[in-house]
Amino acid sequence: MSTATTTPQACSLPAVLDAMAGDETSSFIFRRDGASVRVSHARCRADAGAVAAALRERGVGPGSRVAIHGSTGYEWVVADLSCVLTGALSVALYPSAPLARAVAVAAESGCRTVFTDRADAAEAFRSAGFDVLFLGSGGPAGIASVADLVAAHPGGRDEPAVPRRGPFTVVSTSGTLSEPKLFAVEAAPLLYTMDRFAEIYGIGRGDRLLLYLPLSHLPQRMMLYWGLRTGLDFVLSDPAHLAADGAEHQPTLHVTVPRVLEHIRWRVQAKLRGANAPAGAAAAAYRAIFGSAIRSVFVGSAPTDPALMTELLAAGVPVFEVYGTTELGMIALNTPVARRPGTVGKPIPWGDVRLDPESREVLVRTPTPFLHGRLVDGRVEPRQWDPDRYEPTADVGEIDADGFLRVLGRLRDFMVLPSGEKVFVTPIETALAEAVGAGLCQVTIRPDGKLGALIFFEPDAIPPDTEVDLAVRRVNRDLHPWERVKSYAVVGRMPTIEEGCLTETTKPRRHVIDEVHGRTARWRRPDAPSEHAN
């Protein structure tokens, strides 16, 4: 497929949505007031049509920008589809973002209308001059809800979608290296990617997909739109109910991130701890969480512990670690015929991957980059892609003899000391965190030009100073002299999204962590617990 973005392609989503009107068998399943609700694709299309009619009355049309701010849920889907029907460009805001940032992004994107599911956010958006609509029920006085709009505009249910070209949504980069950037996305590369997934993993009509990560996360919506075209069933859930929904609704497909798998492992271990568990108890416990119908669990967004992957596979959980970036799309996949824990799989069959000979940066050649163009000063500046060019990812990796790719970390994880030596700090951070039981460790260059480590713990899990000191010295003994941590600081709480130290997908932002925690930390040198560095 062509990747040139100077001539936008016709968008296929309007036709996908109009075809939903005849699908009474495929459905959305979600919780409302504690009970399970089932809504057909046809009913969802009708509800989106009613909301689209209301948006048109409020001045929304082709080229308008509409922000959607909320957790995964049926009303989020309806609001998003109503944007497609009107020709508007949806702007997906992470619900976990600090509220001030969400308001600023909506303004930067040129939005006039905002959907949100939080009362405090509704007031903040309204105070900033936006036309606010509420996702769900029980919103602030004077703010119409999606349910209100559906009830008030029955005549818009069957109105056809507005044909459109080019991008249909605006999403955000992770912001791990700098402040998050906004860019527009077309539907074609998303649907093309999912067509390849269907071929590789055997996905099709009759499958049931569990969605609980924020729908502002682009891979979630990639699977949503393809599933609407294909006729998947969707279970719309949240992290607190994913196990219960898995047991009740028996999904066949599950999309997750490593931190959720770590939590599931903790739950399984807690259940089996202290008990004389029979053989197969762990497998049964995992199956109880994922459901007995599960056929594929896709995990991405960050590296997954190889030991956890091995444990899940041994328990019969069909988990596949995949790798991509928000801008470039999919890059590598573990598949049913080629899967290796500790790697992100082999390069996508429809593209190629190689490593920079000096830096080992992962470079990808793909016909399906997701980024259509940057949003600059409220305008989309299209990006011209060369399908034969190997694009940088800012990730560092290695490829084994069998062609499996292992992502070692980010380029930013290489630090240059004043002496000129380059130190890859990710394995140092991992070793320190594991040695002392920390929730997170970040190595930084201190003002004296030497390496220091910020070691983060939950408030109720801080070990004695002597234990931390001993662990740091033990790790240092196995490192090259210039890789050794010369000072460290214990932080008695984890970094947060609200203070800007984590992205909305909980990835650490080095530059902000250094600024927020590094300057005020109490630094000490190993072997001298009572002595503090400046």
Q: What is the pLDDT of residues 75-97, one digit of tens each?
A: 999 999 999 999 999 999 988 88
E strand spans, 248-318: 253-256, 296-299
Residues 356 and 481 in one domain: no
Among residues 378, 410, 442, which one ends one of the domains?
410
Pick the last residue of a domain from 155, 186, 217.
186
| Residues 239 and 146 occupy one common structural domain | no
CA distance 269 to 286: 10
The CATH code of the domain that includes 49 is: 3.40.50.980
pLDDT tens-digit profile of 267-276? 888 778 765 6
The yes-or-no verdict on residue 353 having pLDDT over 50 is: yes
Judged by average pLDDT, the poorest of 2-11, 57-66, 69-78, 288-297 is 2-11
**Average pLDDT score, the chain:** 87
On whether both 433 and 303 belong to a single domain, the answer is no
Residue whose C-alpha is closest to residue 51's, from 80, 17, 26:
80
Phi and psi, residue 189, nearest 5°: -65, -30
CATH of the domain at 486: 3.30.300.30
For 165, which DSSP code? B
Question: Exposed, middle or buried, 96 (CB in 10 Å: 0-12/13-18/19+)?
Answer: middle
pLDDT at res. 180: 64
Assigned domain for 349 exists: yes
Q: Are residues 316 and 462 in the same domain?
A: no
Q: Assess whether 133 and 32 both reside in one domain.
A: yes
Cα–Cα distance list, 182 to 105, 107, 145, 185 (Å): 8, 12, 27, 10
Handedness of CA 458, 461, 466, 472 (dihedral sign): negative
Same domain, 327 and 427: no
Structure tokens at 460: 């109720």
pLDDT at 89: 93
Both tokens assigned to 282 = 């762990």
CB 73 within 8 A of CB 39: no
CB atoms within 10 A of CB 93: 30
What DSSP string runs through 501-523? SB-TT--B-HHHHIIIIITTS-E
- Answer with the one of 127, 151, 186 that is the final residue of a domain: 186
Residues 214 and 359 reside in one and the same domain: yes
Q: Quick one: 298 and 280 in the same domain?
A: yes
Handedness of CA 482, 486, 490, 491 (dihedral sign): negative
Stated pTM of the model: 0.83
Residue 58 lies in a domain: yes
Amino acid, single-letter form, for residue 39:
V
Q: How far apart are CA 36 and CA 29, in angstroms?
A: 7
Q: Which two tokens stand for residue 181?
A: 């950037």
What does the block give as tokens for 380?
């989309």
At 174 the pLDDT is 55
Residues 404 and 425 in one domain: no
Domain that residue 308 falls in: 208-370+390-410
Q: What is the dihedral of CA 433, 436, 442, 448, to 10 degrees?
A: -140
Which tokens is 125 given?
């958006």
The per-residue pLDDT for range 510-532, each reduced to its tens digit, is: 888 888 898 888 999 987 544 33
Say whether 278 sits in a helix, a strand or coil: coil
CB distance 478 to 434 below 8 Å? no
**Element holding 27 (H helix, E strand):** strand 27-32
- Indicate which CATH number applies to the domain containing 327: 3.40.50.12780
Asked, for residue 533, whether it belongs to a domain, the answer is no
| CA angle, residues 73, 157, 68, in degrees to nearest 5 | 35
| The dihedral formed by the CA atoms of 196, 199, 203 and 204, expressed in degrees to the nearest 10 | 100
Asked if 270 and 299 count as a contact pair (C-beta separation under 8 A), the reply is no
> Are 397 and 436 within one domain?
no
The answer as to whether 480 is a domain residue is yes
The pLDDT, as a whole number, for residue 511 is 83
Query: Which of 3-12, 111-120, 263-272, 375-384 is the most confident on average?
Result: 111-120
pLDDT category at 7 given cuts 50, 70, 90 is: low
Query: In this structure, are residues 284 and 254 in contact, taking their beta carbons and an 8 Å threshold?
Result: no
Count of domains forming the chain:
3
Longest dimension (CA), the chain: 75
Q: What is the pLDDT of residues 370-410, one digit of tens each?
A: 988 888 877 888 888 888 899 999 898 999 999 999 998 88
Distance CA 288, CA 283 (A): 9
1 belongs to a structural domain: no
Whether 105 and 170 map to the same domain: the answer is: yes
Nearest partner of 349 among 163, 465, 201, judged by Cα:
201
- 137 and 260 in a single domain? The answer is no
Each residue of 162-211: pLDDT tens digit? 899 889 998 886 544 445 678 899 999 999 999 999 999 999 999 999 99
pLDDT in the model for residue 533: 36
200 in a structural domain: no
Mean pLDDT value of segment 426-442: 88
Residue 201 domain-assigned (yes or no): no
Nearest to 172 by CA among 216, 211, 117: 216
Query: In this structure, is residue 250 part of a structural domain?
Result: yes
- Rounded distance, CA 370 to CA 190, Å? 7
